Chain A
Amino acid sequence: DAKTTQPNSMESNEEEPVHLPCNHSTISGTDYIHWYRQLPSQGPEYVIHGLTSNVNNRMASLAIAEDRKSSTLILHRATLRDAAVYYCILRIMGDSARQLTFGSGTQLTVLP
């Protein structure tokens, strides 16, 4: 299975943009890149996903490198509520009903 590599932790100041990187150098052509986050004492929640093109939604933006070997989750204006563990996950085509494979993620700390 293709794996992802993320920094263990990052810090950001409140109201500033945050760029969370993810390396996935063994990604295959049909793997989608998904991001989830886990707020303290809660279950993970979906953030965004993409295949090749950059994606935007109300929560964040996803920038995918042209060679797809890396991606960056962008929070445009971090708030204290964005402090969470962020997981970059590859959804493997053909993995039928099996679920997401979570790594250890990036712990984001937002400073007031």
Chain B
Amino acid sequence: DAGITQSPRHKVTETGTPVTLRCHQTENHRYMYWYRQDPGHGLRLIHYSYGVKDTDKGEVSDGYSVSRSKTEDFLLTLESATSSQTSVYFCAIRDRVGVNTEAFFGQGTRLTVV
């Protein structure tokens, strides 16, 4: 199994509070991604990173920011959590670009905003 660890695995937070989710990899893969998964929407890309300090937005980036100060860690921050951000968040990694490369996913973080 690819070495991807998401933390925390579960979190309940209050509306308006900041929340940071962490994705840690031991594979030294260059590309890292954050997705959210909601019923009826499948997985949607929030942000991704193509190197240290290099990040870009996905299709549902509003309300989220990311940082990648080292290869192994990719942080997702909800600046001020809202109930609409209640979701399951998945981190993924990939070694290189190209249509033949597979992605590896973490176990997910279940976030509930009350």
Contact = CB atoms under 8 A, between A and B. Distances in A.
Interface stretch (B13-21, B43-51, B65-73, B76-84): B43-51
Interface string A92-103: 110011111111
B111 interface: no
Bin chain A's interface residue count.
Answer: 20 to 34
Contacts, number: 62
A105 B42 contact: yes
A42 B108 contact: yes
Interface of B: 31, 33, 35, 40, 42-45, 48, 50, 56, 58, 90, 92, 94, 97, 99-100, 102-108
Contact of B103 (A30, A31, A46): A46
Q: Is the interface of B mostly helix, strand, loop or mixed?
A: strand
Contacts of A102: 35, 42-44
Contact of A96 (B43, B97, B102): B97
A68 interface: no
A97 B105 contact: no
Interface string A77-108: 00000000001000111001111111111000
Contacts of B100: 32, 49
